[in-house]
Amino acid sequence: MKRIKPFAPVLAVCLIAATILAGCAEPNQAQGKTVVKFWYTWQGAEAEQMEKLIDEFNSSQDKIQVEGLSQGDLQKQLTAIVGGNPPDLAVHYDENRLASWANKGAMQPLDPYIEKDNYDLSDFLPGALEAVQYEGKTYGLPLGMNTWMLYYNEDLLKEAGLDGPPETIQELKEYSEKLDKTDAKGRLERLGLCTGAHQQYIWMYSFEGKMWDPKDKKVTPTDPGFRSSVELVADNWKRHGAQNMDRFQSGFGKYDSPQNPFFIGKCAMTIDGEWLATHIDRFAPNLNYGIAPIPHDEKHPEAKKVGYMNVNLLYIPKGAKNPDAAWEFLKWLTAKEQMLKFDVALGNLAPRKSAVDDPAFDKVPGFDRFAKYAKEHELKPLPSLPFKEEYLNEIQKQMDQILRGKISLDEGMRKIAEKIQPIADKTMK
């Protein structure tokens, strides 16, 4: 009989114990580094650019290892937070849910880190900073921002005898009607202005409008300026009829393709973001177009210098296992150098004052006009409200009814207030 060596059982126990210990090791530790689980919303080429930055950060130091994951489902983010297993750092497409999530405690305020590191927020554009704050606290930092301007087809304007882009809403309406084109049966062949059925809040600041009264804590869809922005969009539909508009728009091609309606002259003017110029450069390089500030109501000359903007944002979820390390990566990623690399690659505007018109953007189509617009205008996000999603959804719901003539504009605005104010009263106690 083969004799078992006396230390064999001890070794076996040690091996088992080591195996158990390895299996129970802290999951957020790797090779002596603190692991930061990072869920971002970008995909495809944009995700590849983010991974390049993650690799650069990981190579730049030996204490933190960031592990990125493209995860665009915000509901999954919230489920992970509620379930106690969130990432250490995550991204939202825009700021529309920030107040709601902050109000629920799903986002950690960054103020303790900002104070501890004496982190300078003054380089962020005021609107970009306002977008990531709620009730005096900062819940995220923006990496990119968007704003909207008026794109116009110079050849079609010239053909209609129009000299240069409209500067006021009143001129815009005249241009729009002159540029509309219908066939002998009245069917639309071209829209002078494609307003976007769900973009009325982009026009709101052109009328000095507002959708929230912070003093009285009241929703204000009946505010004259907000009402005028809805009316501007509704006028197109009223002039041509819902059936005609639906038929015409159903023939629109894919947005990011050569069949984009603005690229092929179905829309003589449209409002869109800075990224559209890059699409034109790619899909319609021979299009003769211009970019101008969004027109303002001549009754409100002060609105000439105001515009709408939004931001993406990075935040540390409640329950993050390594918030300190996440903050270190967040600081690094939103510094000017990294911000420029990412925003130039994606064609987004940079939310830092020192970066928004950096020469790094010189080769990005149309960026000089958007950068000038961002620096010379007071760009404002929508108000930070914990019920903003419900508010915007209700606006769209009533907007559809108004555009199709099922209810009047005033009835629609009243219904919005009746639905949302009780939610505001409950949420903003």
**Assigned domain for 181 exists:** yes
> Whole-angstrom distance between the N-terminal and C-terminal Cα of the chain?
82
Closest Cα to residue 313, out of 130, 144, 146, 147?
Answer: 144
- Whether residues 274 and 345 share a domain: the answer is no
Question: pLDDT class for 200, splitting at 50, 70, 90?
Answer: confident
Token pair of 385, please? Answer: 């409200």
The stretch 106-110 carries a mean pLDDT of 98
- Whether residues 55 and 70 share a domain: the answer is yes
The stretch 254-275 carries a mean pLDDT of 95
**Assigned domain for 69 exists:** yes
Torsion of CA 365, 369, 374, 378, to 10 degrees: -150
- Whether residues 294 and 360 share a domain: the answer is no
**Assigned domain for 72 exists:** yes
Listing DSSP states for 197-215 in one string gives TT-HHHHHGGGT--SEETT
- Whether residues 172 and 142 share a domain: the answer is no
What's the number of domains the chain is made of? 2
**Assigned domain for 25 exists:** no
pLDDT of 196 strictly over 90: no
**Assigned domain for 303 exists:** yes
Give 166's strand partners: none
Query: What are the tens digits of pLDDT across the range 351-408?
Result: 999 999 999 999 888 899 999 999 999 999 999 999 999 999 999 999 999 999 999 9
**Assigned domain for 264 exists:** yes
Question: pLDDT class for 106, splitting at 50, 70, 90?
Answer: very high
**Assigned domain for 14 exists:** no
Give 175's strand partners: none
pLDDT given at position 371: 94
- Whether residues 273 and 188 share a domain: the answer is yes
- Whether residues 302 and 316 share a domain: the answer is no
pLDDT of 19 strictly over 80: no
Give the gyration radius of the chain's Cα atoms. Answer: 26
- Whether residues 198 and 265 share a domain: the answer is yes
- Whether residues 60 and 202 share a domain: the answer is no
Query: What are the tens digits of pLDDT across the range 60-99?
Result: 999 999 999 999 899 999 999 999 999 999 999 999 999 9
- Whether residues 285 and 171 share a domain: the answer is yes
- Whether residues 341 and 263 share a domain: the answer is no
| Structural domain of 77 | 34-146+310-380
**Assigned domain for 224 exists:** yes
- Whether residues 285 and 242 share a domain: the answer is yes
pTM for the model:
0.87
Closest Cα to residue 202, out of 389, 380, 393?
Answer: 380
The distance of Cα 386 from the centroid of its chain, to the nearest Å, equals: 17
CATH number of residue 38's parent domain? 3.40.190.10
| Element containing residue 171 per DSSP (H, E) | helix 169-179
Contact predicate 194/262, CB 8 Å: yes
- Whether residues 366 and 391 share a domain: the answer is no
